[in-house]
Structure 1
Amino acid sequence: MKLALSAPANSLLDNEIQITGSKSETNRLLLLQALFPNLKIDNVSNSDDAEVMQKGLAIANGTVDIHHAGTAMRFLTSYFATQEGKTIVLTGSKRMKERPIKILVEALRSLGAAIEYVEEEGYPPLKITGKKLKHNKVSLPANISSQYISSLILVAPSLPDGLEIELVGKITSVPYIKMTLGLLDEIGIVATFKDNTIEVMPKDEVTSKTMTVESDWSAASYFYSIVALAEIGSKIKLSSYKEHSLQGDSVLASIYQQFGVSTTYSENSIWLEKNGEQLADSVELDLSNAPDIAQTIAVTCYGLGMGCHLTGLHTLPIKETDRLAAMKTELEKFGATVSITEESLTLESNNLIGSGAAVDTYNDHRMAMAFAPLAMKTNFFVNDAGVVSKSYPDFWKDMELVGFKVATV
């Protein structure tokens, strides 16, 4: 599906949007629910990733295809490794088979897991024979994707003696680890995170409880970008959000102050409003704790004519696509000057924005959604726009609710 995008007829925005539950929280809670069936979940994400996770957890034996869902691949690897009597082949898309998983597999093997590589060493597909894991200590590099660490934390309560995880080196993506630990705390599982050591106590069962998933802050990032690029006085209300969120991407509220967007919390909602504050020529941000919003921020800066130097992005090359290379290629289609390293992106300030470009999305939902707000400034096309269903199936409908013209071509 190829879409043509153009700006709302009224440049002064005033809208309300209800956003689906967080994919990150949903997938964590779905795994915990599989381990502790008396948990109930409200406001489940309607994303492809959450649907794949639910289907995967329901399979006892055979093949589980998680398509492009990296979170499901990491979480289900640990889950099936702990399920006695289940034998699963865990596979995914062509891109998923190129995304490394060796560090997690080796960690699980050190605990006693039976996992084999079906094709290439270090990569999916995996053949997993579930068994009781008797060891309770594991060591991991601290700078890896937090999903590896969260994957182990989530299954830890079901292990006979719980789990002690030692993280070696400088820890990145701390908020996602804290999100996982926060959810454990909410259901009564004791866990500690001190210095570079995480300890999770074993738990046979938890008290029956309904967990309500907060709406997705990553999804909110696109509306922050829209407001930043809109006329002063524009505002958008987003539901349902908490002022004290478990999600690392809630840092958006403070980051987007630098782009002239103020955030007001009100009854499980947030109001985003474009103020008239003077903007800097360029910004420098370390996004090691929130790498998923890097693409949105880069596009926002370009739309505002600002430069940026974004660091802490070492996990982006192994996402759905190499996000750093993809951002450079697509921004340059509009006339941007971009340089990248293995862990950074630098955009030069530029007040000229080209029109008529066709943005490629590389099977990456965030490429489509990060670029969409740029339609506030110029008309362009998005190729394979349906990829947004991975995390936010209603995205294009919500863009139309804001007033954007979205046409299939």
Structure 2
Amino acid sequence: MQASLPPRLAIRPRGPIDARVEVPGSKSITNRALLCAALARGESTLEGALESDDTQAMRDALAALGIPIDAAGRVWRVAGRAGALGVPSHPIDVRASGTTARFLTAAATLAPGPVVLDGTARMRERPIDDLVRALEGLGARVEILGRDGCPPVRTLGGGLEGGCAEIDARRSSQFVSALLLAAPYARREVRLRLVEGALVSRPYVDLTLRVMRDFGAECGFDGPGTLRVVAPRPYASGRHRIEPDASAAAYPFAAAAITGGRVRVPGFAADSIQADLALLGVLERMGCRVERRAAEIEVEGPPGDAGLSGVDVDMNAFPDAVLALAVVASFA
């Protein structure tokens, strides 16, 4: 039986868009900040954090590790325990959250006893063996309980010794971020060498380093293909503001580009390094005007008689902006 089509809806814009758009907080920053706050000593507050399936999975997993989190209002409060995680009596369900699974596989090694991390059927198909091998290289004890190098995984406790380890980051930069986030709690300095010097989605590792430094870590690249984290050096608690999500902001920016209008999105730091803000440079190449102020980004599309120019762009470093740009490209 053929389903009936919905009635046609005519959309007649009054003119080019001119709007100020509030965008939700960044998922990538929220989950990184949640983990840093959980490992810090004392209470941290997170303003503008994103409420989503991924961040709820991270919050619930941290709660299972003994970290009290109050997320009732716009300001979340995280009672950090200086790296002293608890040992849950049941497996932790990370659901379908890749960042939760990977970040906590590394962080759970800091617990004094075994921690099992499991997730959805799809999560059980996402390999994690590259991360586990690197953790073992830093002295952690981790077992893969799933098939073909996939979750569930069990960390056996005892912490991270530190030292130097190799990490294959050709499949996912989240493996590198996971190691970095736990590294300040190793017993000695941590150095990570990238296999073949390769690192996909480098901007997300830069974002991890930025969040870690905001919590007091001393970390960064130490020559080509090597990262260094000073340890032991616990995170410091404090008050942190989560930037808007650049992936979500891509859509109002796209609306400005298509209509020849103007959109302003507040909340971005002038030196923001979120990967998907690379879309702004692409929009400029297509004929848009982009202005980055101290706490706001403004995009204005070209006037109707000018139109958008086509571009050839490699979006490997900011893949989450592909859909928004695809819509814009259809008007070029």
TM class by shorter chain equals: 0.7 to 0.9
2:297 counterpart of 1:293: no
Shift of 1:292: 2.0
**Which residue matches 2:246?**
217
**Which residue matches 2:77?**
none
**Which residue matches 1:182?**
210
2:290 counterpart of 1:263: yes
**Which residue matches 2:107?**
79
In the aligned structure 2, how far is the partner of 1:92 from the partner of 1:8? 45
Aligned amino acid, residue 275 of structure 2: G
**Which residue matches 2:192?**
165
- Contact 2:25–2:243 (8 Å) recurs in 1: yes
**Which residue matches 2:16?**
12
Q: 2:228 aligns with which of 194, 199, 218?
A: 199
Show CA shifts across 1:52-95 (max 9, x none). 1111111131222222211111111111122222x332122222
Shift of 1:160: 0.7
In the aligned structure 2, how far is the partner of 1:134 from the partner of 1:267? 41
2:51 counterpart of 1:22: no
In the aligned structure 2, how far is the partner of 1:10 from the partner of 1:274? 16
In the aligned structure 2, how far is the partner of 1:225 from the partner of 1:94? 35
CA spacing shift, 1:261–1:93, aligned 2, 3 Å: farther
**Which residue matches 2:122?**
95
- Contact 1:21–1:216 (8 Å) recurs in 2: yes
**Which residue matches 1:48?**
53
Aligned amino acid, residue 209 of structure 1: G
Percentage of pairs with the same residue: 31
More displaced, 46-55 or 113-122? 113-122
Matched residue SS, 1:284: coil
More displaced, 196-205 or 24-33? 196-205
Shift of 1:223: 1.6
**Which residue matches 1:369?**
none
Aligned amino acid, residue 172 of structure 1: V
Matched residue SS, 2:183: helix
**Which residue matches 1:355?**
none
Matched residue SS, 2:101: helix
CA spacing shift, 1:262–1:120, aligned 2, 3 Å: same
2:81 counterpart of 1:68: no
CA spacing shift, 1:163–1:100, aligned 2, 3 Å: same
Aligned amino acid, residue 298 of structure 1: A
In the aligned structure 1, how far is the partner of 2:286 from the partner of 2:129? 39
Matched residue SS, 2:107: helix
In the aligned structure 1, how far is the partner of 2:256 from the partner of 2:151? 40
Shift of 1:30: 0.9
Aligned amino acid, residue 47 of structure 2: D
- Contact 2:256–2:262 (8 Å) recurs in 1: yes
Shift of 1:269: 1.9
In the aligned structure 1, how far is the partner of 2:172 from the partner of 2:269? 25
In the aligned structure 2, how far is the partner of 1:292 from the partner of 1:239? 20
Structure 1: runs of 5 or more not aligned: 307-409
Structure 2: runs of 5 or more not aligned: 1-5, 66-87
In the aligned structure 2, how far is the partner of 1:171 from the partner of 1:103? 13
**Matches for 1:9-408 after TM superposition, within 5 Å:** 9-38=13-42, 39-60=44-65, 61=88, 62-85=90-113, 87-169=114-196, 170-193=198-221, 194-230=223-259, 232=260, 234-276=261-303, 277-280=306-309, 282-301=310-329, 303-304=330-331, 306=332
Aligned amino acid, residue 58 of structure 2: M
In the aligned structure 1, how far is the partner of 2:118 from the partner of 2:236? 34
Shift of 1:6: 7.0
CA spacing shift, 1:95–1:7, aligned 2, 3 Å: farther
Shift of 1:105: 1.5
Aligned amino acid, residue 37 of structure 1: R
CA spacing shift, 1:109–1:6, aligned 2, 3 Å: farther
Aligned residues: 298
Aligned amino acid, residue 174 of structure 1: R
In the aligned structure 1, how far is the partner of 2:10 from the partner of 2:250? 19
In the aligned structure 2, how far is the partner of 1:226 from the partner of 1:190? 40
**TM-score normalised per structure 1:** 0.67
In the aligned structure 2, how far is the partner of 1:70 from the partner of 1:288? 19
CA spacing shift, 1:7–1:126, aligned 2, 3 Å: farther
Higher relative contact order (CA 8 A, sep 6+): 1
Matched residue SS, 1:75: helix
